Amino acid sequence: MSLTVVGSVAFDGLETPFGKREKILGGAATHFSLSAGFYTDVNAVGIVGNDFGEGEWEVFKRHNINTDDIEIVGDGKTFFWKGKYEYDMNTAHTLDTQLNVFETFDPKLSENSKNARLLFLANIVPMIQKNVRGQSNAEFVAMDTMNFWIDSMKDAVIDTIKVVDCVIINDAEARQLADEPNVIRAARKILDLGPEAVVIKRGEYGAALFTNETYFAIPAYPLESVFDPTGAGDTFAGGFMGYLASQEKIDEDAMRRAMIFGSVMASFNVEKFGTERVDALSHAEINERFADFKRFTHFEEIPFERTQSV
Amino acid sequence: MSLTVVGSVAFDGLETPFGKREKILGGAATHFSLSAGFYTDVNAVGIVGNDFGEGEWEVFKRHNINTDDIEIVGDGKTFFWKGKYEYDMNTAHTLDTQLNVFETFDPKLSENSKNARLLFLANIVPMIQKNVRGQSNAEFVAMDTMNFWIDSMKDAVIDTIKVVDCVIINDAEARQLADEPNVIRAARKILDLGPEAVVIKRGEYGAALFTNETYFAIPAYPLESVFDPTGAGDTFAGGFMGYLASQEKIDEDAMRRAMIFGSVMASFNVEKFGTERVDALSHAEINERFADFKRFTHFEEIPFERTQSV
């Protein structure tokens, strides 16, 4: 098995200017798994309640996600999040959060999950992330986090960053974490904590990859309509980590292509509610958008010479 | 002569977290000219007062800018703008605006300025922009504008857009102009007004080029410190238009490289106060950052195949 993800499996209630869903499949580990499943074998580690039904399990099965490490609490309810997006679609306003069984989440990785080559620590309590990292034998570990943990327990977030290879966060979180308004300096400060790579997600502005020696940046896929941005960040991370898991060498070239595949996956994710679009995706569609990215970013390298002037 | 620019020539008072300048050379046409002058012959069209001194003229002379069409009002004072940037450097807060002689600006282009192959209408009253466009024989005309004109006379802005080939504006202005929060749709709506190209400047997030058939987007040059963003947009436009003026064919390939050269020029502009950095720039430095852009954005186009999985 190649890639293990630890994080939330949830139900989401969503309101966007384009529609509404009362209770659909969501959660960071869910979005991540479905996306990564296009590239590699995935183990999902999470916890759900007895309200998690056949329809939900079917989605995981359809994408060959190994759910052996998703614990089912017989007398509990699944994590529920309800959010609303305004017209500009940039910020989610939380309307309701019911942690339910997620409050007791204390992941114990099976041998199979421990031995995956890559591990992704989706956004959960930083101490749990660190604990999971300790259980794993993965050669490449990435993590996400969020403003809530940076606000309330920054030291614990930093402790976890010190034991991972890659941090994948959005730009506001990077600035907040590094206490630095310039995002380039913020990324450098995070690199100084130990990881070999930092990926900054910038939503509609694209994404950037930093290592100590290199910098790589890409625009977002140009979408005329964003239907539901929920899970876009985890879908990006799933494409990024899933693609890396498929590659023999996790080097700069592979990470650059992984950035593109991550962005491609995120661009599909936002086209419909929840997991709907990625659930129905094909490899041909993925490769088409990958090729689009090359077209959107390519230019000829011809230095300027004053004698060219006409 | 290849490129004419019409716009403000001014004195700026600047306050940033890194320092202060009481009264230095500024103005859209100034920043544009200095930047474009690295690529082509430039005619600047503007108006100044009797306080515009030898030191200011020297800057134009040093870069071979033709200033014959900069009118000098003997009993007037030069346009003065005073602004302040907060720690995040994203927004200029205007502290003082003295239009002075700029209030009577009624540009009459000399034959030389009329016959330039390219024309840039920097941010001024849209009716004046349209009038200047009518005087010119240029084959490729671009314009800028700002939120103030879009707020107070949107119809006049649109009238001017209808008679130019290219609109170069920032993303907030594009959204406002098109009354559309999605910037991709906003750009398409502006293209529908007639221009063949729309360039959206996104500050620290880079820039994007839209035509009816194509899309091209680049990140910004990764700067760890932004010293003074004043004039960055005009410096970008100067690099973009200046480079195009140096090229025999103004096609998609040339415009893509022009986007890079524009971004390179803007990246230098913000490193010191006002025109200081661009004034001291060399072609070698420019070509070095052009090559950096290729390194920062290049990736190998290898589609994903499931059998690659290791």
Q: How many residues does chain A have?
A: 310
Nearest-CB residue to A299 (from B88, B183, B260): B260
Per-residue pLDDT at A309 exceeds 60: no
Residue A42 pLDDT: 98
Going by C-alpha positions, the residue among B129, B127, B128, B135 that lies closest to residue B110 is B135
Lowest-pLDDT range of A219-233, B128-142, B187-201: A219-233
Residue B307 pLDDT: 65
Residue A91 pLDDT: 78
Per-residue pLDDT at B101 exceeds 90: yes
Q: Domain B3-296 falls in which CATH fold?
A: UDP-N-acetylmuramoyl-L-alanine:D-glutamate ligase (3.40.1190)
- Give the whole-angstrom CA distance, residue B98 versus residue A307: 41
Average pLDDT taken over every residue of chain A: 95
Question: What ipTM score was computed for the predicted complex, to two decimals?
Answer: 0.92
Domain residue limits, chain A: 3-295
Q: pLDDT tens for residues B55-78?
A: 999 999 999 999 999 999 999 999
Measure the N-to-C terminal CA separation of chain B; round to a whole number of Å.
60
- Give the whole-angstrom CA distance, residue B310 versus residue B307: 8
Nearest CA in chain B to A118: B310
Q: pLDDT tens for residues A99-145?
A: 999 999 999 999 999 999 999 999 999 999 999 999 999 999 999 99
Average pLDDT over residues A55-64: 97
Per-residue pLDDT at A279 exceeds 60: yes
DSSP code string of A150-209: HHHHHHHHHHHHTT-SEEEEEHHHHHHHHT-SSHHHHHHHHHTTS-SEEEEE-GGG-EEE
Structure tokens at A290: 């990958």
Cβ pair B219:A208 closer than 8 A: yes
Average pLDDT over residues A279-299: 97
Using CB atoms and an 8 Å cut-off, which of residues 180-199 of chain A contact chain B?
A: 181-185, 188
A289 touches chain B (CB under 8 A): no
Per-residue pLDDT at B1 exceeds 70: no
- Give the whole-angstrom CA distance, residue A219 versus residue A236: 13
Q: What are the residues whose beta carbons fall under 8 Å from the beta carbon of A17, sequence distance 6 or more? A: A85, A86, A87, A89
Using CB atoms and an 8 Å cut-off, which of residues 86-125 of chain B contact chain A?
A: 87-89
CA R_g for chain B: 19
Q: How many residues does chain B have?
A: 310
Burial class (CB in 10 A: 0-12, 13-18, 19+), A223: middle
**Cα angle A109-A110-A116, degrees, rounded to a multiple of 5:** 80
Nearest-CB residue to A182 (from B39, B202, B224): B224
Cβ pair B309:A2 closer than 8 A: yes
Residue B92 pLDDT: 83
Burial class (CB in 10 A: 0-12, 13-18, 19+), A309: middle
Q: Domain A3-295 falls in which CATH fold?
A: UDP-N-acetylmuramoyl-L-alanine:D-glutamate ligase (3.40.1190)
- Give the whole-angstrom CA distance, residue B53 versus residue B59: 10
CB atoms within 10 A of CB B296: 20
Average pLDDT taken over every residue of chain B: 95
pLDDT bin (cut points 50, 70, 90) of residue A307 is: low
Structure tokens at B218: 């680049």
Residue A1 pLDDT: 52
B contacts of A225 (beta carbons < 8 Å): 182, 185
B contacts of A288 (beta carbons < 8 Å): none
A18 touches chain B (CB under 8 A): no
B contacts of A303 (beta carbons < 8 Å): 287, 290-291
Residue A88 pLDDT: 72
Nearest-CB residue to B87 (from A2, A181, A294): A181
Residue A302 pLDDT: 95
Using CB atoms and an 8 Å cut-off, which of residues 143-172 of chain B contact chain A?
A: none
CA R_g for chain A: 19
Q: pLDDT tens for residues A143-197?
A: 999 999 999 999 999 999 999 999 999 999 999 999 998 999 999 999 999 999 9
Residue B103 pLDDT: 94
- Only one residue has tokens 């399990």, namely A57
Beta strands B92-98 and B80-85: pairing type? Answer: antiparallel
Helices (H), chain B: 28-36, 54-62, 111-114, 126-135, 147-161, 171-178, 183-191, 232-246, 252-269, 276-279, 283-297
Displacement of CA B31 from its chain's centroid (Å): 8
Average pLDDT over residues A272-293: 97
pLDDT bin (cut points 50, 70, 90) of residue A18 is: confident
Residue A17 pLDDT: 87
| In contact, B87 and A181? CB cutoff 8 Å | yes
Structure tokens at B131: 């009038």
| In contact, A211 and A197? CB cutoff 8 Å | yes
